[in-house]
Amino acid sequence: MFSSSSTSLSKKRLLLIVGILTGAVVLLEILFSSLLPEGLMTQSLRGKCDYIVSHPAPDIQVMGDSVSQGGIFANRLEETLNAHPGSRPVTVRNDSLGGTSPLFAYYVLKRQLRAGHKPDVILFAPNMAVTSNPIPERFWGRFARPGEMAESLRLGMPLSDMVFGLACRLSYTMRYREELRGAVTAGNLEFFKTARLPVELPGSESVESQPAPPENPNETFDARELPWMLKQPFRPLPYVDNHIRAFIELAAENGIHIFWIPMPIPQVVSDFQRESGTVAGFERYLQSFATEYENVRILFPESAVYPDSHFKDTWHLTDFGAWNFSGTLGEALTMYLSENPELLPGTAR
């Protein structure tokens, strides 16, 4: 045991250390936030959200993450849909937000509807891997407003995610730890260089005509190099499921039809996920929504398998892959809409 005087001395010393340490951390974080730029992803996320909320909604709005952001060309889709003229041309806009999860889609739609901008149809294309890894710290740290934070807790988000997310909100280092890690360990300063560039806004796609075929058609992916998120079994977290349901119900209340679009995957991912039962689980999950909600439709029951040369990595399509997929999606959508013209009022073909 320690004598009372040494105990009180060490308590005083500890309090002093904790005090100085806290002060130093606060000071450093204030310095970082004032001197270093916000990340491009954050700027882009906020910029795109502002754009979506402040502009009239298109007829068809694409919502998802980076996979659908680069994998669906709105102008290609628009071109295909308008190739069979109806009473008015259809407008399409890709409002997918890179680096997000289905949580974001719900709150973006909510903000958008509150501003009075309602699309007729949503092409909802979240990546199935993010249903079990929904990046809650980005939601809390870079996006959510107080009311949305409260709602996310009501919809079942765990307390630990909230704590981590709030820490990300308050601390620049935590918010951009991945980017700072890249800067420290690999000298990658891209984050600091690009952060001041203007953000990419919806409708600014540059691809107007068919992109060039892939440079290396023989490139193949190795099963051993699959990212861990793609190897995870398909097990949506309850609170993500709650948010998806809230998203669908909000759309239903506002008369919005949702087409759930599984994005194409490479052969190696398909093989892995088929073997692990992930594909079957995802299919069942999709079907359960189509059965339960009248406003949900499934155009493709499962992810199409595209050649490896159509992908930049095991997740994202190249421009060439996206061009092909957008064409296929446009054809399927045209056919569906011609049989169900009530989905897009005033466009009967």
State the residues that interact with other proteins by CB under 8 A.
1-2, 6-14, 16-18, 20-21, 24-25, 28, 158-161, 163-164, 171, 173-174, 177-178, 180-181, 184-185, 224, 228
Bridge partners of 297, per DSSP, are 259
Of the pair 7, 54, the CB lying nearest other proteins is at 7
| Cα–Cα distance list, 297 to 158, 236, 293 (Å) | 30, 20, 9
φ/ψ of 180, rounded to 5, equals -65, -35
Of the pair 6, 87, the CB lying nearest other proteins is at 6
Residues in contact with 14: Cβ distance below 8 Å, sequence separation at least 6, in sequence order: none
Distance of closest approach, residue 274 Cβ to other proteins, in angstroms: 22
Q: What single letter denotes the amino acid at residue 244? A: I
Of the pair 4, 209, the CB lying nearest other proteins is at 4
Which among 219, 253, 182 is positioned nearest to 40, based on CA atoms? 182
Of the pair 9, 197, the CB lying nearest other proteins is at 9
Of the pair 4, 218, the CB lying nearest other proteins is at 4
Do residues 106 and 243 make contact, with C-beta atoms less than 8 angstroms apart? yes
Do residues 95 and 48 make contact, with C-beta atoms less than 8 angstroms apart? yes
Distance of closest approach, residue 228 Cβ to other proteins, in angstroms: 6
> CA 333 to CA 158: how far, in whole Å?
38
φ/ψ of 313, rounded to 5, equals -145, -170
Distance of closest approach, residue 304 Cβ to other proteins, in angstroms: 29
Distance of closest approach, residue 230 Cβ to other proteins, in angstroms: 13
Distance of closest approach, residue 97 Cβ to other proteins, in angstroms: 21
